[in-house]
Amino acid sequence: MKNFEIPGALQIVSESGGLPKVIVTSKFSTAEIYLHGAHITHFQKNGEPPLIFLSRKSLFAPGKAIRGGVPICFPWFGAREGNVMHGFARTAEWELVETSVAPDGSVKLNFLLPENLLVQAGWPAAKVNFIVTVAEKLTMELRVENSSAQDFIFEDCLHTYFSVGDVAQVSITGLKGHEYLDKVENFARKLETNDAIKITSEVDRVYLNATGTVEIHDAKLRRKILVEKSGSASAVIWNLWIDKAKAMTDFGDDEYKEMVCVESGNVGESKISLAPGKTASLKVVLSTAVL
């Protein structure tokens, strides 16, 4: 893997739990990505607080999901009877297949999910790449190419944990007028009537037909986070709150105050049916501005 290193821009180390990690330094920002799950655990623009939340109690071990960062949920989202939560991609060992630095100073990395994993698990064959561009913005693209002779029906989601100053001072905009499934209330179907969503208790919602940009307004850090996306019909808002935080062994009791998840993907009734030979792309661009 050392042949993918780029002096001054990209270094591969073995740290937590012995898992290989890629440290990226662009002229605008820094990032860290584990091959375990192709999991982004850090992104920070120069002169700003970190954008991505990572639990201080996260486990770093084969077969265990990293708590925080950007888990890749694929080929399913949520619970699935007899299987792991959110699919096997987030605990698989991805391959780093390409790295480069562009003339503008941005650093691009291309990760590949081992193709045999899908077939071994009884899914159609597909080429799955996760392409990350580290610059002033963080750009993530999950690209799925159906290389089988049958339709490939799957869910995908970039389950992004954002770092905030105080979740009580956060508001989320861009979802007014959308229906959502409230998982806290047994998947009750509701309509979002608020201009800004506030987090005052456990929140676990799947917004339907939500293709537009979502904004996180962080009053304490005086920062606005923009979540721009394409190829995504679902938006998920999640904060586990007090009781669930205490019940999780890989999450600090009070860390729910420091994070909120705004996730982009295609889940539930928005799952993707991909014809043979076709490609689906889920692309998310994260940026910040002064609030």
Integer Cα distance of 57 and 167 in angstroms? 19
Instruction: Say whether pTM exceeds 0.85.
Output: yes
Please name every residue paired with 217 in a beta bridge, in sequence order, or none if there are none: 171, 224
Catalytic residue among 86, 159, 215, 255: 159
Please name every residue paired with 203 in a beta bridge, in sequence order, or none if there are none: 239
- Amino acid 16: pLDDT: 67
Beta carbons of 161 and 240 less than 8 angstroms apart: no
245 phi and psi angles, rounded to 5 deg: -60, -45
141 annotated active-site: no
Read off the DSSP letter of residue 229.
E
Domain boundaries, the chain: 2-273+280-290
- Amino acid 196: pLDDT: 98
- Amino acid 2: pLDDT: 77
Integer Cα distance of 153 and 115 in angstroms? 16
Residue position matching structure tokens 């619970």: 79
Catalytic residue among 155, 215, 255, 263: 263
Alpha helix stretches (DSSP H) within 113-182: 115-120
Using the CB atoms, write b or e for 144-163: b if 16+ within 10 Å. Answer: bbbeeeeebebbbbbbbbbb
- Amino acid 37: pLDDT: 97
Beta carbons of 70 and 40 less than 8 angstroms apart: yes
Please name every residue paired with 288 in a beta bridge, in sequence order, or none if there are none: 225
263 annotated active-site: yes
Architecture in CATH for domain 2-273+280-290: Distorted Sandwich (2.70)
**pLDDT per 10-residue tile (average), the chain, 291 residues:** 89 87 97 98 97 96 94 95 90 97 97 95 96 98 98 98 98 98 97 98 98 98 98 98 97 98 97 98 98 91
Integer Cα distance of 167 and 252 in angstroms? 15
Integer Cα distance of 21 and 25 in angstroms? 13
Using CA atoms, how far residue 136 sits from 53, 55, 115, 164, in Å, is 18, 24, 32, 19
